[in-house]
Amino acid sequence: MATAAASHSHRGAGRLLQRVTGIAVQAVKVAGMAVISLALIGRSALLFIRFDVKTAVSIVLYGVLSWLCGAGKVALCTLTAALVGLAVLLHDMPTDNAGHRAGGHGFGSALQENTVEALQALLARSSPGPLPELAYVEFDIHETRDGELLVFHDDTLARALPAGPGINTAPEASLLAQGLDARRAPLSALTAAQVLSFHLGGRVGCHVPTLEQYLRVCLEAGLRHSIAVEIKGLRTDAGRQKLLELLQRYIKQSEGARSGRGEGKLYAHFGPAAVIAFPWAWAAAMGEFGTRENGHWARAFAAAGIPVKSCVLHSLSLTYGF
């Protein structure tokens, strides 16, 4: 009897410790995301500079309050309100997502990240019923030297190529003959054909997919979740326009397909499809914040109905602000 009571007590203590540990881990994650989010907001500060009536009223009100209550107190209250507001915005975001890099993990597993095989496996898992841990399907894109948009995370192929001789020896030698190191050359310096000649993880037939191919797989599988295309590298106006047109077409076709099956589970911040990026990556791809080039592409994506969001803080639009 006493042994059973002790065992029950130990199990209760274990569950309590597990719960406390889980809460602590979540708190650390949220704190880290808050710090990063503040940095991202600061980096894209030009998004919030608007010369309108609301801005003028806010400046006047802040000045009056500073005069009446003291600038220090008002600044402290403003910072506190900003942190509370940020915590609320972060609470609305998923902390774990099974759709990250299309559900793949590195290049040593059976399902390699950002590959068609990983995407198809993820879609197959979600087709019988909703996956609670799947918030949206996320993948990354780079533009190649000849203007193709490829789905890949890193700037180079190094992590995807096993060391030593193997199936990739021939394409590596071909690039080397052209003065290019397959493990160091950025994707922007390679053509699509050169990149696609490599077998990811040394697995025969597993290649870097194109964005167009990826979107087609999503449509054919009847994906009912949102997709998020993270910009890693865009170099040309042609590449930017191609991204816009592919996503615009995908949104139209996916909405038509969903109308016959119900709306599905779309992530509120993204809708059917969104572009996501770190602010510095968006500025590098579309022009620095506040420039005419950046404004042109911000308006173009907004007109096409494609949300552009910060990777870490999904409430932050990189074309408008909050």
Q: Are strands 149-151 and 227-233 parallel, antiparallel or unpaired?
A: unpaired
- The low-confidence residues of the chain, meaning pLDDT below 50, are none
Numbers of helices and strands, H then E, in the chain: 10, 5
**Nearest Cα residue to 10 out of 114, 18, 179:** 18
261-266 long-range contacts, CB within 8 A, separation 24+: 261/222, 261/224, 262/224, 263/224, 264/223, 264/224, 264/225, 265/130, 265/224, 265/225, 266/224, 266/225, 266/226
Dihedral angle of Cα 40, 136, 230, 188, to the nearest 10 degrees = 160
Q: Answer whether 317's CB lies under 8 Å from 309's CB.
A: yes
Helix (H) or strand (E) holding 17: helix 2-43
Cα 292 to Cα 46: distance, rounded to the nearest angstrom = 13
Query: pLDDT tens-digit profile of 145-165?
Result: 999 999 999 999 999 999 888
Q: From residue 232, how far is each of 61, 199, 280, 281 by CA, in Å?
A: 40, 21, 10, 7
Locate tokens 């890099």: which residue?
101
Q: Answer whether 226's CB lies under 8 Å from 137's CB.
A: yes
Average pLDDT along the chain: 84
pLDDT in the model for residue 48: 65
pLDDT in the model for residue 51: 58
pLDDT in the model for residue 224: 87
Q: How far is CA 237 from the centre of its chain?
A: 21
pLDDT in the model for residue 222: 86
Q: Whole-model pTM?
A: 0.80
pLDDT in the model for residue 2: 54
Q: From residue 213, how far is each of 116, 117, 136, 209, 219 by CA, in Å?
A: 8, 12, 18, 6, 10
Cα 4 to Cα 8: distance, rounded to the nearest angstrom = 6
Query: pLDDT tens-digit profile of 285-322?
Result: 999 888 899 999 999 999 999 999 998 888 889 988 75
